Chains A and B, each alone.
Chain A
Amino acid sequence: MSTRETIDFRKQVVEEVLEIYPEKAKKNRRQHIAVKDSECSSCAVKSNTKTVPGIMTARGCAYAGAKGVVWGPVKDVVHISHGPVGCGYYSWGNRRNLADGEIGVDNFVPFLFTSDFQESDIIYGGDKKLEKIISEVVGLFPNAKGVSVLSECPVGLIGDDIESVARRTSLEHNLPVIPVRCEGFRGISQSLGHHIANDAIRDHLIGKGPAREIGPYDIGIIGDYNIGGDAWASKKILEEMGLKVVNIWTGDSTLEMLQNGHLVKLNLIHCFRSMNYIAKYMEETYGTPWIEFNFFGPTKIKESILKIAAQFDERIMEKALKVIEKYTAPMQKVIDTYRPRLEGKSVMLYVGGLRPRHIVGAYEDLGMEVIGTGYEFAHKEDYEKTIPALKEGTLIYDDVTALELEEFVKKLKPDLVGSGIKEKYVFEKMGLPFRQMHSWDYSGPYHGYEGFPIFARDMDMAINSPTWKAIKAPWK
């Protein structure tokens, strides 16, 4: 098919799939789907709007964004899931944000702390209970550097005042207690939860840490949650370049790293969507500059290394070039191994904050093509950053519904689908290779030079697994 024919075909697919909807839902959904064409007249998709009720969205809630994404990985803080037991239970131990530390001493990542609301708490309020809980935390975990209170739906509905409990207990215990108003009904996706979590860091932590001299090469990584060790893989490259990573937000991070986020020469922002707010705030308030970077796949890694090095002096640039040189041959070896097995294979993605665009280059390094992509909770500027990275004819879908994605996949017939746990087994039942691209399917890291060989191996393993060939019974 020519590019024009591909574009026309995919536009027709969109129209066909939209026919599944009642009128009102169809009108809404049409605005969220587009095919990239040469003039790009139609590639603007609407985003960050309310999900249509009843359609099976993959989206989560503000609590998921604030606790699951931003706060949960901060390792030396006790995060209280404040409300009924469920939200904390479902977000317990399933995000793979690895942390280095003594569990129960200065690392609380593998825990679920909950106030386990009962009916009486709904009726009489949970503030007194919260106060007691915080004192119990302090008694049982003396090395915790702080406490965060992440409110679940009922807390906001019954009018509890967690801010004042936080103020009182913080003074009483001489410990930061941070209220995070991330009730699940706020906003329309995880996204507002990220924002609320950022605001809590801004209001309660930034600039409140022990003073520190800023070294000439001190940098921070913002918006890397260390899934499967991703942040450590990125850090390795940056330190080989002669830079000093003093903060990571929030993968494997500490309270002090949050307090001192502005005390660096440069902040590198990985997941723009979930942490742009605080990066912008640090720039406006403290003059801390920030740039985006992308450490997926050797092409993008090289571009990013050069872009980062250009912010520093000759010494760093020299080292940066050496790093690129050092890894060129090993990365080429990875490509030589896997590209012949993956060349020309197509991928459809549907993920969260940054991966629907950031991973495109890594697939291209392997000779693969992204033919469809979309975000669960992106905003306009995310799509603006995404469109240029895509080839003409790429299908773009925002907050795609389960049925839309199934239909798109059936019609576009990719060789691989990359999305989340809720989607994984649907496509595997169709006999389609799939990788979870939130959790790296329990593999990783995928970042940096350390991650690319693993990424390449995993994609090859998914697509070329002999298991797919066994699906059809010989007598059928």
Chain B
Amino acid sequence: METCTKVTKDWLNTQEYREKNFAREKLVINPAKACQPLGALLCALGIEGSLPFVHGSQGCAAYFRSTLSRHYREPVAAVSDSMTEDSAVFGGQSNLIEGLKNANTLYSPQVISIFTSCMAEVIGDDINAYLGNAKDQEAIPKDLPVALANTPSFKGSHITGYDSMLKGLIDCLAAPRQEDKLNERLYVVPGFDTYTANLREYKRLLKVMDTPYTLLPDQSEVLDAPNLGTYELYPGGTPITEMKDALNAASFLFTQTYSTPTTRKYLASKGVPVEVISMPIGIAGTDKFIESVAKITGKDVPEEITLERGRSIDAMTDAHQYIHGKKFALFGDPDVLIGVVSFLLEMGGEPVHIVCSNSTPLFKKAMESLLGSSPYGQGATLYAGKDLWHLRSLLVTDPVDMLIGDSHGKWAARDADIPLVRIGFPITDRVNLHRYPIVGYSGVINMITMIVNTFLEEKDRTSSDTYFEMMR
């Protein structure tokens, strides 16, 4: 192999390189997935008065906080018990107990949400036993709720950790189900969702549908907190009282599939009715959400929703010509991918390359079935467990018109000379995108706006004088 710069640069764009790249067995380059405790932290932030607590190295906590803060441009509180080398020898119990005592004194949480990072998992710390000892030693009051989640970073991804923490929080806070004391609330679980506007959109739709609900967890006030001139450590979240009553829910509705299996299984084992739908992105996805809610509550869908749906359809027909037949590459989390692909197919857009670094067999099946159900999905391939360096090879050898994914896609998009529309997590190089919903009928309009206007902006920026027109 000639190693001069230019030759190598060109070689990176060849079919030969693509094959070599795809022959990789062990090396992972630019994966679109983070580790479990990040998801656990996001989940823990969505409960009222919950203090996230990392049992492990303090560096992990610093990384999770920074990563979330960069996406939301919001404060993210979390403590750790700063395990160091001696904990590797003796275990992390003394750190956990001292950490609990200090955290509780300083930050007066209503619940402490403990999750683990690598160190504690590798040495096999028994956090449940440690917690019992902490309470026996009166480091914290016996009645202070402490939720637990084992979140090893060498299994699954951030969405797995979200699920484990969610289960831990319900298990810690909810009283046992009593069939004679059921509440009338629909508990809606958004899953690993980094759009505060999505959470607000769910709440708005549920209100319009006159449905008593609890969003669990709910980070919308925590990670999109108003600036009123004071800093609140606990600015919102699912109320503790509603957490306590969670197992008495009329029903649970999960709006993500792949970030919630453990919690769904847990709830089912407690006799709670559980319904799960695909993330309501696009018309069919949103219809399903509306219908599910209506079915559970037994109420008619209000006219207002029908009108709202109609406005989104109007936006779709108005703009179909800019998306129909366009080729797309996408990467991201399973639930978001299913939703966005479904939306593109509704618009006549053609997904071509779909990369999912944290894919599962169930997701693969679902995605392939979705693609198979549409004439516009016939040219698509799902690359399960692949990364963004694979994606780069795909983009330069088999070009598409647009890449959809988080900010990490910007290098691949640049190398392929195509625009990147930012949907997913994290988005660290654009402002406010998490403040626009991608779910619901309004999400449809927002996605059309983002995608179509990006294409049109490209067209204007690259048009010669001759073709630079007033109308597009």
28 contacts between A and B (CB under 8 A): A21-B105, A24-B98, A50-B82, A51-B58, A53-B99, A54-B81, A54-B104, A54-B106, A59-B58, A64-B62, A86-B34, A86-B35, A86-B63, A89-B33, A92-B408, A104-B12, A105-B5, A110-B411, A115-B28, A152-B118, A156-B88, A185-B88, A186-B84, A188-B84, A421-B66, A426-B75, A430-B231, A431-B229
Render A148-160 as a binary contact track against B, CB cut-off 8 A, 1 for contact.
0000111011100
Instruction: Please determine whether B123 and A157 come into contact, CB atoms closer than 8 angstroms.
Output: yes
Question: In the bound complex, how far is the Cα of B78 from the Cα of A251, in angstroms?
Answer: 31
Asked if B73 CB lies within 8 Å of chain A CBs, one says: yes
Instruction: Please determine whether B58 and A57 come into contact, CB atoms closer than 8 angstroms.
Output: yes
Asked if A214 CB lies within 8 Å of chain B CBs, one says: no
Instruction: Please determine whether B26 and A425 come into contact, CB atoms closer than 8 angstroms.
Output: no
Expressed in whole angstroms, the minimum distance between the Cβ of A60 and any Cβ of chain B is 4
Question: In the bound complex, how far is the Cα of B121 from the Cα of A117, in angstroms?
Answer: 13
Q: Which 8 A-B pairs have the closest CB atoms?
A: A61-B59, A86-B35, A54-B99, A53-B99, A90-B63, A54-B102, A84-B153, A54-B103
Q: Which of A129-137, A338-346, A379-387, A455-463 contacts B (4 or more CB under 8 A)?
A: A129-137
Instruction: Please determine whether B66 and A139 come into contact, CB atoms closer than 8 angstroms.
Output: no
Interface residues of A in 433-476 (CB under 8 A from B): 471-472
Render A95-125 as a binary contact track against B, CB cut-off 8 A, 1 for contact.
0000000111110001111111111011000
Asked if B472 CB lies within 8 Å of chain A CBs, one says: no
Render B133-158 as a binary contact track against A, CB cut-off 8 A, 1 for contact.
00000000000000000001111010
Expressed in whole angstroms, the minimum distance between the Cβ of B57 and any Cβ of chain A is 4
With A121-B154, A185-B88, A429-B75 as known contacts, state yes or no: A90 contacts B67, CB within 8 Å: yes
Expressed in whole angstroms, the minimum distance between the Cβ of A388 and any Cβ of chain B is 30
With A185-B83, A427-B231 as known contacts, state yes or no: A86 contacts B153, CB within 8 Å: yes
Asked if A93 CB lies within 8 Å of chain B CBs, one says: yes
Grouping DSSP codes into helix (H, G, I), strand (E, B) and loop, the A interface class, with mixed when no group exceeds half, is loop
Expressed in whole angstroms, the minimum distance between the Cβ of A98 and any Cβ of chain B is 14
Question: In the bound complex, how far is the Cα of B76 from the Cα of A104, in angstroms?
Answer: 34
Q: A51-B58, A89-B34 are in contact. List 17 more A-B contacts (CB 8 A).
A: A54-B79, A56-B103, A56-B107, A59-B59, A85-B153, A87-B59, A94-B428, A112-B29, A113-B29, A115-B26, A116-B28, A140-B20, A153-B122, A154-B154, A185-B83, A422-B66, A430-B229
Question: In the bound complex, how far is the Cα of B86 from the Cα of A186, in angstroms?
Answer: 9
Question: Which of A54, A58, A188, A403 has the most CB atoms of chain B within a 10 A radius of its CB?
Answer: A54
Interface residues of B in 205-254 (CB under 8 A from A): 225, 227-232
Question: In the bound complex, how far is the Cα of B227 from the Cα of A428, in angstroms?
Answer: 8
Asked if A20 CB lies within 8 Å of chain B CBs, one says: yes
Asked if A184 CB lies within 8 Å of chain B CBs, one says: yes
Expressed in whole angstroms, the minimum distance between the Cβ of A62 and any Cβ of chain B is 7
Instruction: Please determine whether A64 and B153 come into contact, CB atoms closer than 8 angstroms.
Output: no
Render A294-324 as a binary contact track against B, CB cut-off 8 A, 1 for contact.
0000000000000000000000000000000
Asked if A143 CB lies within 8 Å of chain B CBs, one says: yes
| Cβ-neighbour of A422 out of B76, B84, B100 (below 8 A) | B76
Expressed in whole angstroms, the minimum distance between the Cβ of B357 and any Cβ of chain A is 9
Expressed in whole angstroms, the minimum distance between the Cβ of A397 and any Cβ of chain B is 16
- Tell me which residues across on chain A come within 8 A of B34, comparing CB atoms: 85-86, 89-90
Question: In the bound complex, how far is the Cα of B58 from the Cα of A401, in angstroms?
Answer: 13
Asked if B337 CB lies within 8 Å of chain A CBs, one says: no
Question: In the bound complex, how far is the Cα of B27 from the Cα of A137, in angstroms?
Answer: 7
Question: Which of B82, B95, B100 has the most CB atoms of chain A within a 10 A radius of its CB?
Answer: B82
Asked if A289 CB lies within 8 Å of chain B CBs, one says: no
Question: In the bound complex, how far is the Cα of B26 from the Cα of A57, in angstroms?
Answer: 35
Expressed in whole angstroms, the minimum distance between the Cβ of B119 and any Cβ of chain A is 5
- Tell me which residues across on chain A come within 8 A of B117, comparing CB atoms: 86, 153
Interface residues of B in 26-76 (CB under 8 A from A): 26-31, 33-38, 53, 56-60, 62-67, 69-70, 73-76
| Cβ-neighbour of B62 out of A59, A62, A187 (below 8 A) | A59
| Cβ-neighbour of B57 out of A25, A90, A133, A184 (below 8 A) | A184
Asked if A402 CB lies within 8 Å of chain B CBs, one says: yes
Asked if B178 CB lies within 8 Å of chain A CBs, one says: no
| Cβ-neighbour of B59 out of A64, A154, A430 (below 8 A) | A64
Question: In the bound complex, how far is the Cα of B106 from the Cα of A24, in angstroms?
Answer: 13
Asked if A52 CB lies within 8 Å of chain B CBs, one says: yes
- Tell me which residues across on chain B come within 8 A of A471, comparing CB atoms: 227-229
Asked if A55 CB lies within 8 Å of chain B CBs, one says: yes
Asked if B85 CB lies within 8 Å of chain A CBs, one says: yes
Asked if A216 CB lies within 8 Å of chain B CBs, one says: no
Question: In the bound complex, how far is the Cα of B230 from the Cα of A438, in angstroms?
Answer: 24
Instruction: Please determine whether A54 and B411 come into contact, CB atoms closer than 8 angstroms.
Output: no
